Amino acid sequence: TPNVLYGIGTDIVEVKRIKNAIEKWGERFLKRIFTENEIAYCINRKDPFPNFAVRFAAKEAFVKAVSSTEKQRKIINISDFKEIEILNYPSGKPFINLLGNLKTILPDEITIHLSLSHERRYALATVVLERKRT
């Protein structure tokens, strides 16, 4: 039996917008939006700003995917962004790790698919939520 699309979300962010926020607010902005794991990953990149921007876009895309489901009524605020952690498998493939209260936001039979892309000016993320048919 095929699986069912449960939700989808896409977001695009101008890298300069995130760079400006980081330069203006510094650690205060970083610690409000990103986990320690995300900050460590991005800081260790040659150019951290596209990496921060694409993670921000992924968090927004996840919120849109969850919001697109009729069954999901919980509203996710920017204060919840630290509970949406964007990590990478050793292969480099990105994934979403839900923390805190957001761990229970989706039913167990939901698989989260994440695609990230960035270039000099823009960062793009797409999240697909797939429900396994039983």
The catalytic site residues sit at: 64, 118
With a CB cutoff of 8 Å and minimum separation 6, the contacts of 10 are 61, 64, 124, 125, 126, 127
Number of H helices, E strands in the chain: 4, 5
Q: Compute the distance between CA of residue 54 and CA of residue 15 in angstroms, rounded to an integer.
A: 8
